[in-house]
């Protein structure tokens, strides 16, 4: 098993947290602990809480952080449960929270997880293997319309309609059980000339199905306000996304939390009681340098946004 994962926007994200050496920090997407280890290096007397819904990531992180385990608490859970996670640890507020959304290289490398369109495996794609809902359910049970919607929205795949049609036709013959079976169906749906250009033809559809299986957008949307409210004054949240829909969620949610009045303009006096909860530190998202993209092509679509609790 190869767990090599190059952390994306590492310096930018960790610097952006403005780490206080005795502060409490949360890495909600621990993965290979690439960001966490940098945070821990900057702590003296502080604590890092590392959360991942993938038990394999927790095991790996334990190894990577082995010299600092006294300052680290690792939790196998979904970051959407952050309120309960912190209250179980008797922690009321923290000084910084990092999210680095998406799939890790180690998850792609683990053949049997079904994340990769290069390796044949059962259609799975669960980040949390204790859950029941898998890619098989999406591919074999969703209606043609639902398939088209997720492939179009989450994959930004312009051939979504044909791919959904071809999946449903194939299902009438036999269930689509494996990743490479699905790749064959996708290839048949996309005209050969288009297939020969650019990325692997399965890339966008696989991304869409993974986002659906793990409820990634809903979880992100629900988590940002809770996370901001768990920050001490001056505490920061830094979020790295890889997909335009994810980035839009972060941008819009930050904007909402930044408003101190949401009354309609025709009302002369504010009656809404809304208070500004955060200051937005990055008006425009931070993106990787050319050098980073060359060194780590996975970073190409990444965007980092940072906000500070007021």
Structure token digits, residue 46: 């502080």
Question: Residues 216-219: contacts with CB within 8 Å, 24+ apart?
Answer: 216/101, 216/102, 216/246, 217/154, 217/245, 217/246, 217/249, 219/78, 219/79, 219/80
- The nearest distance, CB 193 to ligand SAM, in angstroms, is 33
Cα separation, 256 vs 259, in Å, equals 5
Q: From the list 16, 17, 23, 32, which residue makes contact with ligand SAM (rule: CB under 6 A)?
A: 32
- The nearest distance, CB 225 to ligand SAM, in angstroms, is 15
Binding residues for ligand SAM, how many (CB under 6 A)?
Answer: 21
**Residue 279 host element (H or E):** strand 278-280
Q: From the list 79, 142, 159, 206, which residue makes contact with ligand SAM (rule: CB under 6 A)?
A: 79
- The nearest distance, CB 263 to ligand SAM, in angstroms, is 34
Please identify, among the stretches 30-38, 231-239, 250-258, 285-293, the one whose residues bind ligand SAM according to the rule CB under 6 A.
30-38
Q: From the list 102, 114, 201, 235, which residue makes contact with ligand SAM (rule: CB under 6 A)?
A: 102
Nearer to ligand SAM, 78 or 116 (CB): 78
CA distances from 305 to 120, 220, 226, 249 (A): 36, 13, 17, 11
**Partners of 278 in the beta sheet?**
309
Please identify, among the stretches 100-108, 167-175, 176-184, 259-267, the one whose residues bind ligand SAM according to the rule CB under 6 A.
100-108
57 near ligand SAM, rule: CB under 6 A: yes
- The nearest distance, CB 98 to ligand SAM, in angstroms, is 7
29 near ligand SAM, rule: CB under 6 A: yes
What is the residue whose two structure tokens read 């996670």?
A: 85
33 near ligand SAM, rule: CB under 6 A: yes
Cα separation, 123 vs 92, in Å, equals 40
Q: From the list 100, 247, 292, 308, which residue makes contact with ligand SAM (rule: CB under 6 A)?
A: 100
Question: Residues 267-273: contacts with CB within 8 Å, 24+ apart?
Answer: none
Cα separation, 78 vs 227, in Å, equals 13
What is the residue whose two structure tokens read 């300052």?
A: 71
Q: From the list 25, 75, 94, 104, which residue makes contact with ligand SAM (rule: CB under 6 A)?
A: 104
Apex CA 115: angle with CA 111 and CA 118, to 5°? 65
35 near ligand SAM, rule: CB under 6 A: yes
User: What is the secondary structure of 169-237 as a DSSP string?
Assistant: HHHHHS---BHHHHHHHHHHHS-HHHHTSSS-TTHHHHHHHHHHHTTHHHHHHHHHHHHHHTEEEEEEE
Return the residues of window 144-183 that contact ligand SAM according to CB under 6 A: none
51 near ligand SAM, rule: CB under 6 A: yes
Return the residues of window 116-135 that contact ligand SAM according to CB under 6 A: 127
Please identify, among the stretches 25-33, 84-92, 190-198, 250-258, the one whose residues bind ligand SAM according to the rule CB under 6 A.
25-33
Q: From the list 16, 23, 31, 46, which residue makes contact with ligand SAM (rule: CB under 6 A)?
A: 31
Residues interacting with ligand SAM, by CB under 6 A? 5, 7, 29, 31-35, 51-54, 57, 78-80, 100, 102, 104, 127, 219
């Amino acid at each position: 098993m190869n767990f090599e994962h190059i952390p994306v926007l590492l310096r930018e994200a960790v610097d952006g947290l403005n780490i206080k050496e005795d502060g409490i920090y949360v890495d909600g997407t621990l993965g290979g602990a690439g960001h966490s280890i940098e945070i821990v290096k900057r702590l003296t007397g502080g604590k890092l809480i590392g959360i991942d819904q993938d038990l394999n990531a927790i095991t790996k992180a334990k190894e990577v952080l082995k010299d600092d385990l006294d300052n680290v608490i690792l939790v196998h859970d979904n970051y959407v449960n952050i309120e309960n996670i912190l209250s179980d640890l008797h922690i009321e507020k923290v000084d910084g929270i990092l999210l680095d959304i998406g799939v890790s290289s180690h998850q792609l490398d683990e053949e049997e997880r079904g994340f990769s369109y290069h390796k044949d495996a059962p259609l799975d794609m669960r980040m949390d293997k204790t859950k029941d809902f898998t890619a098989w359910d999406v591919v074999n049970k969703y209606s043609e319309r639902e398939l088209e919607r997720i492939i179009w929205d989450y994959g930004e795949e312009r051939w979504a309609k044909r791919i959904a049609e071809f999946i449903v036709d194939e299902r009438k013959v036999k269930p689509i059980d494996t990743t490479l079976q699905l790749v064959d169906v996708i290839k048949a749906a996309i005209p050969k000339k288009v297939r020969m250009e650019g990325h692997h033809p399965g890339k966008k559809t696989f991304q869409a199905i993974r986002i659906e299986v793990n409820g990634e957008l809903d979880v992100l949307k629900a988590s940002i306000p809770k996370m901001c409210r768990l920050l001490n004054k001056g505490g920061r949240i830094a979020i790295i996304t890889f997909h335009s829909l994810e980035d839009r969620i972060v941008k819009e949610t930050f904007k909402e939390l930044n408003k101190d009045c949401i009354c309609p303009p025709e009302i002369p006096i504010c009656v809404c009681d809304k208070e500004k909860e955060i200051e937005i530190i990055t008006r425009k998202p931070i993106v990787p340098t050319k050098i980073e993209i060359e060194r780590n092509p996975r970073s190409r679509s990444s965007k980092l946004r940072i906000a500070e609790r007021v």
